[in-house]
Chain A
Amino acid sequence: MVKSNRLFLTLATAVVSVGLVLGLSNGGAQADGTLRIAMTAADVPTTTGMPNNGYEGMRFLGYPIFEGLVLWDLSSADKLADIRPGLAESWSQSKSDPTKWTFNLRKGVKFHDGSDFNADAAIWNLQRFYNTKSPQFEAQGSAITRARNPNVKTWRKIDDYTLEITTDRPLSYFPHLLVYMLYASPTQFEKVGGTWAEYAKAPAGTGPFKLTNFKPRISVTLERNDGYWDKNRIAKVDKMILYPMPEATTRLAALRSGQVDWIEVPPPDAIPSLKAAGYDIVTNSYPHAWPWVMNIKKAASPFRDKRVRVAANYCIDREGMVQLLNGVAEPSVGFFKKKSPLFGNPKEAYTFDPEKAKALLKQAGYGPGKPVKAKIMISTSGSGQMLPLPMNEFLQQTLAKCGFEIQFEVVEWGTMLVAFRNDPSGPPALGSDAMNISLVTSDISQMARWFWSGNSAPKGSNWGNWQTEEWDRLLGEIQVSTDPATIRKKVSRLNEIVVDEAPWLWIVHDLNPRAMSKKVKGFVSAQSWFQDFTRVRME
């Protein structure tokens, strides 16, 4: 009996060992030409053409499959990505009525279902977003589009390939907003029975990839669109499989086990070991800011005083913060990056200068025995929030050296979003004097969103309700201007003002780290929230 048990145990051990040794290999299960990416999203972003999950959704389930009249130029890693013609070959703003824009649509563009993109298809999509009574109205896609494009008023087909869109006010940067409006196929919508639920399973756009397999919560498979209109941007990989993996450690394990070739945002602590193990860590500057948005509206907020705001900006150890993050961030001293031609020449050049900060606080009536007391709303996590808890604790320590006594109101990401959309002096703000929320800094359209008094919360996204007469006046002039040189000059003046007035505590810009295996070649990390996957190849 004892012998037979021993025999059984020996045999069992042998079987297991042989199984493992025979290479129940996990890596290499995918054929070459398949790029597998782990996203940070908790679920596959919506697939109907206006993805949720913020700009990560747009990055993976937006631009690869669907396109707008205007697109991002993601070809260069060396300069801030700007816009380029997309489904419209060109556009012009009417001189007599600057609210009218004419778009010359690109001919020969086909949706993935084989139907033509033309003015009718474009108008069908405009109705999908802006006409609640149209049969193709898509509630969620509409909300996302209207959030980013609130100024579209009317539209008109001039001929099959010419479209006119009118805005509710002159808006020189309207094309920068149109990049966030993506076009889906009307024919495919009819083919699947005229519901967005069915369309989500088999969508059709005009982009360089086609969606071929959608498994909610698990993965989505995109395949190369060989009939893509831009022959220079036919994808090099056959397939791209995207997995939602919200846990950073899970993404890390998936990469290191060979289950995926590329992960978004590896945990900063893991970067040295990933490098040592031969993985590529790709980072680049992109238009992201991780600030504290100061509450100017709350009557008792210490940040109503410009001197306190400027003092705080002189009391930030930005280099120390970058070290804390293992180099995956860069110091921020303004809305645009310091090296950008739009940065201008502000009076304030922020460094870590506690003495200067103390002097400013003294002028403002603070000093030893009378610290600046402020409560900051921070989130535990959230889209683009980096590592909010250790980063804010670091700020709390450095600010204490200058006489700031910072307290935190730690909330869930959802609570922060609710507060961000509401009056900063109302209950959702929980009495906060500032909010730590990461925001987009790509161009003037975003700048207007965060700083223009016409967008003050709760109406818009200028949460702190900061306002100066000069800034508003200049923005008004930019909106009606048609001269690019004048616009550039005035935009850089706007940056100078927000640096000197310090409505935000300028802390860091994220460098958006990605980790990928050596098999991934040809990726150009554009200075953008979005990336071009067509150049990537697998070796």
Chain B
Amino acid sequence: MWLFVLRRILYAVPILLGVSVIVFGLVQLSPGDVVDILIPPEAPKEVADALRARFGLDKPVYMQYLIWLGHLLQGDLGISIFTSQPVVVDLSSALSNTFKLAIPAALLGMTLGVTLGTLAAFFHGSWLDKLFSATAIAGVSLPHYWVGIVLVALFAVIWNVLPAQGMGPEGFPSTWEQIKHLILPVVTLSLIPMGVISRLVRASVLEIITREFGSLRPCTPRVSSIVASYCTL
């Protein structure tokens, strides 16, 4: 077991190295560099070159990469040229924001998906089934960025009940001020998992309840509560 874990970790090393080379290369491919953004357009070349030398951007690309890698191996991600803050601090703040958004979105998507899928299966063929199935298909099919814009237009601009952008006060989302900033992005992000899960659950539940021994019909109040529980599960 430990050997397996160790092997997997070792496999990850070349993959991470490869990813880092590709990411580093992609940054180099983009036009201009960070210095062009940091200093004003009227800054003469001499000033831009001096700053470039100070940040080590005048060195060959492979040297820049190796220097970065050397520091990384010592656990030092360096200081961000943009924010002047340690990169670890910037990353951890971005990571915590990602969790704040991704975890509720995944939970909501899963809960809604299971609920709608189960209900659709139970009422298969009925208008409710059609409604939930249509919701699921819409969730998968509608592009995020379009849904986001529509939700902002409705809830922020027209009804003015939720913020159009931003993340509100920092910290664990516990106050209404923090939570209301999460609602629209969380709903938008949950649509795809909701749609996918809903369709899977509907198909699975339908398969079970349409079997001879577990159809919905016998699971009415006429049968024992144990069978009823089994049926709904």
Contacts and interface: CB of A to CB of B under 8 A. Distances in A.
A140 B38 contact: yes
B86 A197 contact: yes
Interface string B24-65: 000000111101111111111111101100110000000000
A413 B40 CA distance: 12
Given A27-B160, A143-B48, A414 B37 contact: yes
Contact of A20 (B39, B81, B161): B161
A144 B156 contact: no
A399 to B, nearest CB: 25
Interface stretch (B6-14, B165-173, B196-204): B165-173
B189 interface: no
A66 B36 CA distance: 24
Interface string A391-418: 0000000000000000000011111011
B153 to A, nearest CB: 7
A439 B42 CA distance: 9
B156 A253 contact: yes
Interface string A130-152: 00000000011001101110100
Contacts of B44: 147, 150, 421, 455, 458-461
Contacts of B35: 143
Interface stretch (A113-121, A256-264, A306-314, A508-516): A256-264
B159 A20 contact: yes
A517 interface: no
B85 A200 contact: yes
A143 B38 contact: yes
A287 to B, nearest CB: 14
Number of chain A interface residues as a range: 35 or more
Given A54-B41, A253-B164, A257-B157, A146 B47 contact: yes
Given A257-B164, A259-B166, A461-B44, A140 B31 contact: no
Contact of A196 (B42, B48, B84, B159): B84
A506 interface: no
A24 B161 contact: yes
Given A216-B85, A412-B32, A254 B164 contact: yes
Contacts of B176: 24
A210 B113 CA distance: 49
A40 B119 CA distance: 47
A34 to B, nearest CB: 14
Given A139-B51, A196-B84, A257-B164, A147 B43 contact: yes
A218 B83 CA distance: 12
A249 B152 CA distance: 11
